[in-house]
Structure 1
Amino acid sequence: MSPEADGGTGHGAETSRPTRRVAGRRTQADRRARTRSALLEAAARGLSRHGYANLVLERVAAEAGYTRGALYHQFAGKEELALAVVRWVDETWAAEVGDQAAAEADPVAGLMLMARGHAVYCRRDVAGVIRVLAIEFAGRDHPVARELSRILGKLTGDVERRIAEGRRSGAIPPGPPAADTARACLGAMEGLVSHDLIGPPHDVELAERAVRGVLGLPPAGPRPSVTAR
């Protein structure tokens, strides 16, 4: 076959090269994303267990299956890694818990979804990041402390708004200021799921009971057990 018949040998070779380059870039981006995800998860486990001060970057890299150099290729240092972990945990919590609760039109049902979903989410070994770092950075002026304040402030505000909605509709009885009640709801949930001896399936039921109690609501009827995702 002549070059003219198949569109020209030179042109055929030229059109194949960009495809290979795009595939190469995609593969490299995929590898980078997998590396970043593995490092974030390993760092989240380390922060949950040991806190920020005791986080060892070499150990994080080794647990993720990479070298320290690979970690520094992704993150400039411990502070940047911790900030990325905090945002990653916030994003995963929103995807698995917060977004579903926010989509529920009924404020009480939304708050119960949040309580149950939070209990399930906290079965994961990376779920203690926010709690551990909030204690470690309490009262400090630090980028991690400021990011935690932003995340927790938004969450508290969302819960406060749902409580105010429920009180306006009569679904939630009057009580202490909605902002204080929101903090109490979150504190009750977090205190319960942080207890090592309370596990599935009772963590979900007790989390809902705790929030209902803070809101002044009667206990709900029995629910089917919730399994870990």
Structure 2
Amino acid sequence: MRTRATQADRSARSRTALLESAARGLSRHGYGHLKLEQVAREAGYTRGALYHQFKDKLDLTLAVCAWFRETYWHEVARHVEQEPEPVAALLTLARGHAVFCRRDVARVPIALRLEFSGQDHPVGREVERNYETLLTRCAGLIDAGRAAGTIPPGRPTRARAVGSISRHLGARDSPPPRGPARQAFDALEGTVIALAGQAPDDELFAARAVAGVLGLAPPS
């Protein structure tokens, strides 16, 4: 029993290390230029060890998307869910997102969204699913804040902010309209990418970016 538990622990550690290395690689280079040998080497394992865990680059990248979603929940989203007040929840999301992205994985979602824009690809679909989940949560918090009177009224959040980006791809005459939820998350993402790792400024300016989009007083 002790041997099996040790083997399971080692397998879990190697899987996590490979996923984090792959996430850094995707953040820096995107899917097309991701090299599995480099992912394995930077994680401290052989390429054979990587293939023991993942079938190929597609399997690894889909696993990174799932890891990103699950890790984000444990480190960011669950704390947001614990905030009873919408403005506090949105600012908690902003600050938590900044801290999460100190791992040098900040560009994974945006890099993959751009790379698979306009394509019907498993990675593109999975990234869109993750993105829509965040937008839906942001939209719900904004609506709740407006209903409570703590967030100023403005453009509709759901109809314009939550529609899948993929529905608008190929519409060259005009870009898809951006509602407050998407504007807030785009501002958050851009700020965190620009200030990744520059603690504590990344947290402060991430929160201020979201507050500014929503017409709130800047947090200190």
TM-score of the superposed pair, with normalisation by structure 2: 0.86
Structure showing greater relative contact order (alpha-carbon pairs closer than 8 Å, 6 or more residues apart): 2
Percent identity of equivalent pairs: 55
Question: What SS is found at the alignment partner of 2:140?
Answer: helix
The code of the aligned residue for 1:29 comes to A
**Counterpart selection for 2:80 from 92, 95, 101:** 101
Q: Partner residue of 2:152? A: 173
Q: Distance in 2 between matches of 1:211 and 1:197?
A: 16
Contact preservation (8 Å) 1:192, 1:198: no
Is 1:111 matched with 2:90?
A: yes
Q: Distance in 2 between matches of 1:86 and 1:50?
A: 15
Q: Partner residue of 2:50? A: 71
Displacement of 1:196 in angstroms is 4.9
Q: Partner residue of 2:181? A: 182
What are the within-5 Å matches in structure 2 for residues 1-229 of structure 1?
22-178=1-157, 179=161, 180-196=179-195, 199-220=198-219, 222=220
Q: Distance in 1 between matches of 2:198 and 2:3?
A: 45
Question: What SS is found at the alignment partner of 1:122?
Answer: helix
User: Which structure has the larger Rg over C-alpha atoms?
Assistant: 1
Displacement of 1:201 in angstroms is 2.1
Unaligned runs of 5+ in 2: 162-178
TM-score of the superposed pair, with normalisation by structure 1: 0.83
Unaligned runs of 5+ in 1: 1-21, 223-229
Displacement of 1:218 in angstroms is 2.1
What is the Cα-based RMSD across aligned positions, in Å?
1.5
Contact preservation (8 Å) 2:98, 2:196: no
Count the aligned residue pairs. Answer: 200
Q: Partner residue of 2:172? A: none
The runs of at least 4 consecutive aligned structure 1 residues that moved more than 4 Å come to none
Q: Partner residue of 1:226? A: none
In the TM superposition, what whole-angstrom CA distance separates every residue of 1:20-46 from its partner, at most 9, and x where no partner exists? xx2222122111111111111111111
Q: Distance in 1 between matches of 2:6 and 2:83?
A: 39
The code of the aligned residue for 1:171 comes to T
